[in-house]
Amino acid sequence: MSMETPATNAPVERKSMDVLEAIRTRRSIGRVKSDPVDRAVIEELLEAASWAPSHFNTQPWRFIVMTGDGRAALGEGYANVAKSGWPEMSAEELEAKLQKERAKAYRSPVVIAAVYSKSEDSRAVYSEELAAAQAAVQNLLLAAHAHGLGAIWRSGEPMYNPLMRSALGLTEGKEELTGLIYLGYPDMAPPAQKRAPISEKTVWLEA
């Protein structure tokens, strides 16, 4: 089963959004339309992700883009993780529950698995490398927002389970999931959000 989608020649729609505006107005969008997202747009999001900072420029990330039937790999991952924790049940009941788990992979037309991939650089520190991979996800989310797309960064226990890593072909002991980004055109209004005054979370040390 191919996890790639054919390239298109459609022009990429670029938004003129100030970076500070993008940071302030980005929201997690959990409901998106089934309309496909052009591959060229997805590639621009990945390019933006790749410009995240990393110590010693290790770039400890890679991405698995799932569209169409390619999302089945993620669906099987959800099903396998869930099944491992269930008690015995009838075959009919089991299949019904597994179908619900598999359906989680189809909540958006595009799902991008962000993967932390261990660097060979001996100077690399795990916590710093993981933070760099997470920064890449933030870049991707901001770029998606600038393109008028809705996205949500999902995680949770299934993401950290070895059965999910196996379903997505991650290398044991070297790679782990940083996030599952569900992506598409918004089918909901952005939720209102508030932030605590930054003055409450800032300490100034001055002469």
- Output the known binding site: 26-28, 55, 153-155
Q: What is the spatial distance between Cα 32 and Cα 65, in angstroms, rounded to a whole number?
A: 17
Token pair 């010693």 is found at: 56
CA distance 140 to 180: 12
Residues 174 and 117: beta-carbon distance below 8 Å: yes
What 3-state class would DSSP assign to 190? coil
Would residue 127 be called left, alpha or beta, if left means φ above 0 and alpha means ψ between -120 and 50 degrees? alpha
Kindly give the residue spans of alpha helices, DSSP state H, lying in the chain.
19-25, 39-49, 72-84, 91-103, 126-146, 157-160, 162-167
b/e code 50-63 from CB counts within 10 Å (16+ = b)? eebebeeebbbbbb
Q: Which residues sit in the known binding site for FMN?
A: 26-28, 55, 153-155
